[in-house]
Amino acid sequence: MDHLLSLLILTPLAGALVLLLGRGMSNETIKRFSLALTLFLFAVSLLLLTQLSGFESSTEYRFQEIVNWLPEWGISYHLGIDGLSLWLIILSTLLTPISLLGSWSSIEERVREFNIFILILESAMIGVFCALDLFLFYVFWEAMLIPMYFLIGIFGHGRRIYAAVKFFLYTMAGSALMLVAFLVLYRETGSHTFDLPALTRASLDPGLQMWLFLAFALAFAIKVPMFPFHTWLPDAHVEAPTAGSVILAGVMLKMGGYGFLRLAIPLFPVAAQKAAWAIAFLGAIGIVYGALVSLVQPDLKKLVAYSSVSHLGFVMLGIAAFSPMSVVGASYQMLNHGVSTGALFLMVGMLYERRHTRLISEFGGLKNVMPRFAAVFLLVCLSSIAVPGFNGFIGEFLILVGSFTFSPGLVILSTLGVILSAAYILWMVQRVMYGEVTNEKNANLPDLNPREWATLLPLVFLALFMGVFSSLFTPSIEKPVIKIIQDARVRALPPGGQIRLIPMRQAGPAPSADTAKEAQQ
Amino acid sequence: MFAADRIVLWAPWMVVFMPLFGFMVLAFFGGLAKRQGQQQGMMVLATACTFASFFLALLTVKSLLSLPVGDHGLHFAQPTLAEFNWIDVGGLTIPMTLLIDPLSSTMMLVITGIGSLIHLYSIGYMSHDEERVRYFSYLNLFTFFMLVLVTGASLALMFVGWEGVGLCSYLLIGFWFKKKSASDAGKKAFIVNRVGDAGLIIGMALAAAKLGTLSLMELSTGVKTMAIEEFGVFGPLTLISIALFIGACGKSAQIPLHVWLPDAMEGPTPVSALIHAATMVTAGVYMVARLGAVYQHSETAMWLVAAIGGVTAFVAATIAIVQNDIKKVLAYSTVSQLGYMFLACGVGAYGVAVFHLVTHAFFKALMFLGSGSVIHGLSGEQDMRQMGGLRTRMPWTFWTFTAGWLAIIGFPGLSGYFSKEEILMAAFGHNVFLFGLALFTAGLTAFYMSRLYFMTFLGEYRGGLEKKHEDHAGHDAHADHAKADDHSHGHGHGGIHESPAVMLIPLFLLAIGSILAGYIHVPQFVEPAIRVEEALEHISWMPVAAFAVAFAGFWLAYLMYAGPMRELPAKVAAKFAGVKDLLDAKWGFDDAYDSFVRNGVNGVVDVSERVLWKKVDAGWIDGAVNGIAQMTNDFSQGGKLLQNGLVRGSAISILAGAVALLSAILWANS
């Protein structure tokens, strides 16, 4: 149990090595090997939950591992997780086997490379969520880019090279600045360490903080992606193979929000709070903008991609509003988005496999020929538009209610997104599923097969489960979130100032619990 | 377990979960039922679940009333499910708790009682539909969400039901999804409702921020402890009330968010009866009544509620006059009657509003089901100009419909008479103008309902259906129906026929309800739950005035549609062409909505496509990105030799990057 995180990070790498060396393996064997390995990793990641009560009761990092790596430069192999990273790791280990299974029949050439890239990607993603050393974080962060670059560039569709290069340049541009900021931070704090917990205790000149924060914020904003840094996303998604889209949307976009909460805000609390209004504003713009552009997409995958811009706008609004409720809502929304958008991309991929097109106008009346597909698709869409009872609602609700005191105006603007999301999703559902079958090519499409059921059922189940049992997840998220907020507020205070956290019930009347109890007895 | 105080802790949950259980069975195993008999089994199961729910609701209410009385003479219980919180973040806790008090009990009984009858009726009505199992699963799911809506102990739980019923309404309106008009109507209903829902979300956010709670109990008691500056014309309480009222307007089809309800008639008729008459559309009234103690503190909001309600009642009634589709008349009538309920809320008579909600649920469900029976018997005909003379051909439908008709026009002694009169009395005490409007609307109501009644049942049959099945008319037919399957296949093909017993029994029971529901003292029963003192001044001349107006409406309709002056409608229409046009155009709301959709929404779509997507995204942002990339590319032409292979090139750049990184660290370390 001591090296659980290392096990999670290194096992996929070892698996990739096996695939690289095992030249004699057939495609089928390679697929089965990778699937079994990633399923095993999922099971291992569930072991992290054995300490769930610990995550709920204290904010210390658990499963820590520290090994001196380059001691003369203050670099160490420092891993550790709290409730914030816990769920994102499990999301990553869940979505990886699902995306492998989802690509089972669509990737027929260069199967070995495909699986190698996915395994390296998984290792890097888990690494990002575990790293507590800035240098290590940066290594994993960059390591993620390369396999994804190849997944899009080799296994993608028509304009895959353009999309891959765009994806690479965009994210490189952000992370290059972040790297510079790392180095300046390292130099200016004078502590000569890359250790995150140590650095968050250092104090920095507010002017410098702002510059460094902006460098970090740019890297993370591109990743989220936050309007107006989002244009790589639709291209990357449309050209990526299904597995790439699922992992990209499901996990990699979450690195942005995670980066803000883990690095940018704790390291630069003064600057973060000064810039909060701008981030919230861009987040709210992103909600409406993404929804409006989704409305007019002729391509299913682009529609889902732009809807991600809208959903991630909620996440940014929640983070920027910086109340416990809104930040927990944002963190929860990241998980929800991984589940529901992951499922949406899988299903669009299934349609593509059947028809080799993703144009909405090519479909229509599919409910007649694929009733089960249509039913599951509707469920996934309902989760995406945040119907209560599904996971998305909890996230949006917490974000909107939690952000209200920060800015009523932005919350009201954001509720436009609630209306528009129903419009673009239901309009799409109507054009794809309802009516008579008008296109001959759709007349004999097969319904879901057992493999496809296996990829979708866990996600649909989670979408509902997380919508009803949110309180199994949120306490462990809330603990670190409150610490992040309190630390940031305290450190942003002028000397001698006092912190005042406003509890939710402050204005509330005394609940008439007595009378209620009387009635119950 | 069986003591009253125990029963109220588990029985309400059973009430709520029985229909969900039915839904799950049908959703998961409905596909397995291939044969006729199996599918009928599924339908019976779904119906049995709602009946079970109804009996459990009766048990709940009986136990509730035997509990010791709490403060203000209120019986209530808040059963909580397993100490489990649905949401528990940042100090906001939303436990899985129901609020069972006289108000929610009343709603629960209406929903499960009328819901059961409509399930039963649907067994007959949908017997020919291939997808009847899917239909019943949606109907059960709807019942579940509706029960959550009225029993949830917090605004957030209410919202679960609120959106859930909207979802089921979407699914059921668009049930015949192959029809474009049906899926359009479903989508329209959902989106218009979402506009209202956005208001509800804002209202909840405001309430959470200002009062620190979403619990309905705490909101009602909490306002009393609020500082005086929280009130005021546009104080927070007013904003909360108005935001929530926007939600109510969406769900309960009040102007200007009423446009979806007439379109919703695309759904199967029992759905119109259940969702779009008796239950879901009354959710807004329920919410305003439930939060009466909050609304009571905001004169602005109260005034708005009353005005919207009064105007909606009047406008919808005028539109109903010129409709020829039997279901459209009933739809506009529903909008109008809901307006009455809001009017009552707006003048502080919440109990009376709930009273009218109950009586309306009976007589409107009855008339919708009756119209369904007519449509069923006429093989799908909905145009009243193609009806007439059905009195003799469908006697059971006719007699039961008569009860509903008399109830809605306010015939003394029937349910609608009592509730409407109390609304008029309450309005009179507050606002003479709105009272006048409401009284005039009562006359209009009598007119358009009598018109419907005469055109459908009296006179001569004007339609073109062949009459070979005529001898089947009367109640002998359903005896056949029960045992002979071949007869049921005859339905929908042949001539006019009376509906089978499974459809007539609900009509009969609802007719009894429509006659007698007025004798239940609903206002006195629910008032303690609302926590607002209602002193209804009794006005002795009101019964006379109400009856006179109703009679005038009835008499005019009689003259014009059944009596000696049948050419009069055409003459009036010619003489007042302007008014006729205005009413035909539904006061311009549909046009305004359509042009809003065409210009507004298309404008948004157009701007989104041309400006946001193709210009901002593809032009500016990507232009900048590609420009930078191009510059870099030009700049690095010298390094082109390195780019001789995708993988190798990247490997080299990674290496170069690593070298740069190490040197930078050395710098930083120095």
Residue B480: the pLDDT is: 36
Torsion (CA) B120, B122, B124, B127 in degrees, nearest 10 = -130
Are A471 and B85 within 8 A, CB to CB? yes
Tell me if B370 sits within 8 A of B437, measured CB to CB.
no
Residue B489 pLDDT level (bands cut at 50, 70, 90) = very low
Question: Which chain B residue has the Cα nearest residue A191?
Answer: B669
pLDDT tens across B38-91, in order?
Answer: 888 888 888 999 999 999 999 888 888 877 766 556 667 777 777 778 888 877
Residue with tokens 């809003």: B596
The whole-angstrom distance between B10's CA and the closest CA on chain A is: 11
Does the beta carbon of A505 lie under 8 angstroms from any beta carbon of chain B?
A: yes
The residue with greater pLDDT, A4 or B468, is A4
Say whether pLDDT at B328 is over 50: yes
Are A231 and B222 within 8 A, CB to CB? no
Provide the β-strand partners of residue A68: A76
Percentage of residues in chain B having pLDDT higher than 90 = 15
- Amino acid identity at A238: V
Give the lowest-confidence range in A226-230, A454-458, B440-444, B635-639.
B635-639
- Nearest by CB: B160 against A389, A433, A512: A389
Q: Is residue B48 classed exposed, middle or buried when 0-12, 13-18 and 19+ CB atoms within 10 A define those classes?
A: middle
Residue B562 pLDDT level (bands cut at 50, 70, 90) = confident
Are A426 and B190 within 8 A, CB to CB? yes
Residue B337: the pLDDT is: 92
Residue A331: the pLDDT is: 94
Tell me if B366 sits within 8 A of B514, measured CB to CB.
yes
Are A394 and B212 within 8 A, CB to CB? no
* Residues of B whose CB is below 8 A from A410: none
pLDDT tens across B263-306, in order?
Answer: 888 888 888 888 888 888 899 999 999 988 888 888 888 889 99
Determine the residue among A227, A289, A379, A434 to mutate to test chain B binding: the one whose Cβ has the most chain B Cβ atoms within 10 Å: A434
Provide the β-strand partners of residue B152: B98
pLDDT tens across A266-296, in order?
Answer: 888 888 888 888 899 999 999 988 888 888 8
The whole-angstrom distance between B569's CA and the closest CA on chain A is: 39
Residue B588 pLDDT level (bands cut at 50, 70, 90) = low
Give the lowest-confidence range in A443-452, B491-500, B567-576.
B491-500
* Residues of A whose CB is below 8 A from B4: none
C-alpha–C-alpha distance, residues B590 and B599, integer Å: 14
Does the beta carbon of A324 lie under 8 angstroms from any beta carbon of chain B?
A: yes
The whole-angstrom distance between B211's CA and the closest CA on chain A is: 5
Tell me if A185 sits within 8 A of A267, measured CB to CB.
yes
Q: Specify the pairing of strand A75-81 against strand B80-89.
A: unpaired
The residue with greater pLDDT, A444 or A521, is A444
Tell me if A325 sits within 8 A of A398, measured CB to CB.
yes
Q: Is A63 helix (H, G, I), strand (E, B) or coil?
A: strand
Residue B652: the pLDDT is: 52
C-alpha–C-alpha distance, residues A396 and B87, integer Å: 12
The residue with greater pLDDT, B619 or A484, is A484
- Nearest by CB: A418 against B70, B201, B217: B201
Are B198 and A415 within 8 A, CB to CB? yes
Question: Which chain A residue has the Cα nearest residue B629?
Answer: A169
Mean pLDDT confidence for B180-187: 82
Determine the residue among B87, B612, B635 to mutate to test chain A binding: the one whose Cβ has the most chain A Cβ atoms within 10 Å: B87
Residue A458 pLDDT level (bands cut at 50, 70, 90) = very high
Are A387 and B91 within 8 A, CB to CB? no
Q: Which of B490, B155, B89 is CA-nearest to residue A395?
A: B89
pLDDT tens across A126-166, in order?
Answer: 999 999 998 899 989 988 888 888 888 888 887 888 888 88
Query: What is the reported pTM?
Result: 0.85
The residue with greater pLDDT, B666 or B213, is B213
* Residues of B whose CB is below 8 A from A365: 178
Residue with tokens 């240098």: A135
The whole-angstrom distance between A497's CA and the closest CA on chain B is: 24
The whole-angstrom distance between B345's CA and the closest CA on chain A is: 25
- Nearest by CB: A471 against B67, B88, B225: B88
User: Residue B461 belongs to what H/E stretch?
Assistant: none
Residue B662: the pLDDT is: 61
Residue B619 pLDDT level (bands cut at 50, 70, 90) = low
* Residues of A whose CB is below 8 A from B197: 418-419
pLDDT tens across A301-322, in order?
Answer: 989 999 999 999 999 999 999 8
Give the lowest-confidence range in A476-485, B332-341, B590-599, B654-663.
B654-663
Does the beta carbon of A228 lie under 8 angstroms from any beta carbon of chain B?
A: yes
Residue B492: the pLDDT is: 43
Say whether pLDDT at B484 is over 50: no
Are B625 and A368 within 8 A, CB to CB? no
Residue B643: the pLDDT is: 45
Question: Which chain B residue has the Cα nearest residue A187?
Answer: B668
Are A368 and B178 within 8 A, CB to CB? yes
Are A388 and B5 within 8 A, CB to CB? no
Say whether pLDDT at B33 is over 70: yes
The residue with greater pLDDT, B233 or B361, is B361
Residue B70: the pLDDT is: 64
Tell me if A424 sits within 8 A of A307, measured CB to CB.
yes
The whole-angstrom distance between B493's CA and the closest CA on chain A is: 24
Say whether pLDDT at A123 is over 90: yes
Structure tokens at B134: 């899917």
Are A292 and B607 within 8 A, CB to CB? yes
Rounded to two decimals, the ipTM of the complex is 0.81
Q: Which of B402, B404, B398, B394 is CA-nearest to residue B475?
A: B394
Residues 461-480 of A with CB under 8 A from B: 468, 470-471, 474-475, 478
Give the lowest-confidence range in A387-396, A398-407, B74-83, B308-317.
B74-83
Question: Which chain B residue has the Cα nearest residue A423?
Answer: B191
Q: Which of B661, B415, B634 is CA-nearest to residue B518?
A: B415
Question: Which chain A residue has the Cα nearest residue B64?
Answer: A519
Q: How many CB pairs below 8 A link A and B?
A: 213
Rounded to the nearest 5 degrees, what angle is found at the Cα of B337, between the Cα atoms of B334 and B338? 85
Question: Which chain A residue has the Cα nearest residue B602?
Answer: A296
* Residues of A whose CB is below 8 A from B170: 426
Number of CB atoms found within 10 A of residue B669's CB: 13
Residue B227 pLDDT level (bands cut at 50, 70, 90) = low
Give the lowest-confidence range in A112-121, A170-179, B240-249.
A170-179
Are B164 and A389 within 8 A, CB to CB? yes
* Residues of A whose CB is below 8 A from B604: 292, 295
The residue with greater pLDDT, A95 or A23, is A95
The residue with greater pLDDT, B389 or A224, is A224
Mean pLDDT confidence for A414-439: 85
Residue B638: the pLDDT is: 47
Say whether pLDDT at B554 is over 60: yes
Are A401 and B91 within 8 A, CB to CB? no
* Residues of B whose CB is below 8 A from A232: 625
Q: Is B92 helix (H, G, I), strand (E, B) or coil?
A: strand
Residues 50-89 of A with CB under 8 A from B: 72-73
Q: Is residue A278 classed exposed, middle or buried when 0-12, 13-18 and 19+ CB atoms within 10 A define those classes?
A: exposed
Residue B557: the pLDDT is: 82
Mean pLDDT confidence for B611-623: 69
Residues 373-432 of A with CB under 8 A from B: 382, 387-389, 393-394, 397-398, 400-402, 404-405, 408, 411-412, 415-416, 418-419, 422-423, 426-427, 430
Helices B299-321/B432-457 angle, 10° precision: 30
Tell me if A215 sits within 8 A of A178, measured CB to CB.
yes
Helices A111-130/A134-155 angle, 10° precision: 150
pLDDT tens across A463-491, in order?
Answer: 999 998 888 899 999 989 988 888 888 87
Residue A129: the pLDDT is: 94
Name the average pLDDT for chain A: 85
Say whether pLDDT at B470 is over 50: no
Name the average pLDDT for chain B: 79
CA atoms within 13 A on the CB side of B183: 19
- Nearest by CB: B191 against A170, A325, A426: A426
